[in-house]
Amino acid sequence: MLFELKMPKLNDNMDTGLIETAYGAEDSALKLGSKLLDISVDLSRAFSQNCPPVSYYRLVLRETLWLRGLAAPGTRCTAGERIALFSNTPDEPIDGPVAREARVLVAGINVHDEMFSRSTAA
């Protein structure tokens, strides 16, 4: 059975999110509580101000699944776009229908040095 994770709409004014950090290797088993992605959301288009309103979030898996595909750091995704694909067995064909969305927890986090935007900052 296949499961997907779509970019969550973390704010009513959010259009896109930037994948900052990706955790886990493709075709590996991830257990309950595994970190998946760190995402940043920049709302400066919606709210013009001197200090851009950027928020950071971590997505954590709430079930045990096999990671079959994951968006790479630096990828900008629209809300609702697929950012990860999972299966409940390691040999499930990935071209089948998706049964449901994977269960995740979303938590606000602080910026850290491993984030994509930190490594590309001048």
Are 94 and 3 in contact by the 8 Å Cβ rule? The answer is no
**Which residue segments constitute the domains of the chain, with CATH numbers given?**
2-120 (2.40.50.100)
**Residue environment code for 39-58, b if the CB has 16+ CB neighbours within 10 A, otherwise e:** bbbbbeeeeeeeeeeebbbb
Q: pTM of the entire structure?
A: 0.90
Q: What percentage of the chain carries pLDDT values higher than 90?
A: 79
At residue 122, the pLDDT reads 43
Q: What's the pLDDT tens digit per position in 35-55?
A: 999 999 988 776 666 667 889
φ and ψ of 27, to 5 deg:
65, 30
Question: In this predicted structure, what is the pLDDT of residue 75?
Answer: 97
pLDDT band at 12 (very low <50, low <70, confident <90, very high): confident
* Residue 50 tokens, joined: 């001197």
For residues 41 and 118, the answer to whether their CB atoms sit within 8 Å is no
Helices then strands, counting H and E runs in the chain, come out as 1, 10
Q: What is the pLDDT of residues 25-37, one digit of tens each?
A: 999 999 999 999 9
